[in-house]
Amino acid sequence: MKGNVIKYERDNIDTDVIIPGQYLKIHDYAELALHAMEGLDPNFHSKVKEGDFILSGRNFGCGSSREHAPIALSHSGIKAVLALSFARIFYRNAVDGAFLLPIEIEMDAYSNISEGDEIDIDISNNTIKNLTKKQTYKMKPFSEIIGKIIESGGLFKYKPI
């Protein structure tokens, strides 16, 4: 899965900035996308392209349980968020609703990948290739259940044994 990176070099990007509270009453996915990341980066909507990735620090998606957050990012074109760690509800919303891939990365990927770099995420080998910088980083493998839900295409398609 190839795409370009939009980088937010900070920790604790919370759901209030991913999609501010005033938009919680909106349930039209395309309209939510217009306001994605509005609390942090008002230019996000104009710069994001289909297939892009977000790269950020620790505790991405902390705060509320609003599924609007992964929905707004996903319908903006974001296919994966790479972060040093994720808040739990954002993580399971992203996976269970099959909106985007939450990829846990290590410090080397966080520091070396720059805004605009083209990267190739290979979840079968748990690696991230930086095509711009010709580097390769490891990603943390998904836990068993998360891997299975992703493979199935979301919680509703997953059939537990």
Partner 1 sequence: MNITEKILARASGRAQVSPDDVVFANVDKVMIHDVSGPGVIKVFDKLKKQGINVDKLWDPSKVWVAEDHFVPSADKISAENIVKLSDFTKNYGIEKHFKYGMGQYGICHTLSHEEAMVMPGEVYVGGDSHTNTTGALGSFACGLGHTDVAYVLLNGKIWFKVPETLYFKLNGKLPEYVMAKDFILKIIGDIGTEGGAYKTMQFGGGGINEMSVESRLTLCNMTTEAGAKNGIVEPDQKVVDYLTSKGARDISLIKGDYDAQYQKIYEYEGSEMEPIVAKPFSPENISIVREAPSVDLDKSYIGSCTGAKYEDLEAVAKILKGRKVKIRTEILPAAISIYKRAMENGLLKIFLDAGATVGPPTCGACCGAHMGVLAKDEICISTTNRNFPGRMGHIDSQTYLSSPLVAAASAVTGKITDPRDLK
Q: Where does this chain bind partner 1 (CB under 8 A)?
A: 12, 14, 16-17, 20-22, 24-27, 39-40, 58-59, 62-68, 85, 87-89, 92-93, 96-97, 143-145, 154-156, 160
Closer to partner 1 at the Cβ: 22 or 124? 22
CB of 14 to partner 1, least distance (A): 5
Closer to partner 1 at the Cβ: 11 or 118? 11
Tell me if 134 sits within 8 A of 18, measured CB to CB: no
CB of 138 to partner 1, least distance (A): 21
> What six digits make up the tokens of 25?
């009453």
DSSP 141: P
Q: Is 48 exposed, middle or buried (0-12, 13-18, 19+ CB in 10 A)?
A: buried
C-alpha 32/C-alpha 68 separation (Å) is 7
Closer to partner 1 at the Cβ: 62 or 128? 62
